[in-house]
Chains A and B, each alone.
Chain A
């Protein structure tokens, strides 16, 4: 069963912020929200993760709602190289060894 829901696709203009939504209404208290992306013909690449607080790193920001049922990944200034499939993943529970359960993701296309 999918633990996250994402829009299948979205477009973004180069230089603008890209806001990628994700719903995870069944998330439990000890589960993290992870974001990975996959550029065509490459393996997935880690972007960011969080538990309940908002997080920021050199790639992106992660905003998690107070009830933790949804989150938004923000790419502050999208470039053409950010065109990729973006996956929102809720980490599985204690016996999962950290394995990732990918859904279909959001295909993001950044246009000039």
Chain B
């Protein structure tokens, strides 16, 4: 079956430009996560959606970063006025998890990521 897809796979932006990164989660998956991965490091959490509700945006590095999931399926991560330090791979993951319950047992399925390079 289809996995998580992300587009574009590669994006080059000039400093100061706005970019939009798209994530198509696995159909029916309630939870959606965005992570940022700098070169040579592990992914770092950015934000979390349960359906269309953004329940956690504690990892967003600045107010230039904005994410939405208006219909509870496709999600877009937008970065305004990009800076060189925004250069990274942006990963999207989805899972069937439906609650922030006592334990975390649902597998997260990751997309291939979007590599953003800001010049």
Segment at the B interface, from A14-22, A73-81, A99-107: A99-107
Min CB distance B76 to A, Å, is: 18
| Contact A104 B55, beta carbon cutoff 8 Å | no
Does B74 lie at the interface of the complex (its beta carbon under 8 Å from any beta carbon of A)?
A: no
How many residues on A have C-beta within 8 angstroms of the other chain's C-beta atoms? 26
Task: State which of B4, B35, B95, B110 has its C-beta within 8 Å of the C-beta of A98.
Answer: B95
Q: Which residue of A lies closest to B48 (CB)?
A: A97
How distant is the Cα of A56 from the Cα of B67 in the complex, in angstroms? 37
For B48, the chain A residues whose CB sits under 8 A away are: 97, 99
**Which residue, of B55, B103, B112, has the highest number of chain A Cβ atoms within 10 A?**
B103
- With A94-B101, A97-B97 known as contacts, the answer to whether A44 contacts B43 (CB < 8 A) is yes
For B104, the chain A residues whose CB sits under 8 A away are: 32, 91-92, 96, 98
Min CB distance A27 to B, Å, is: 13
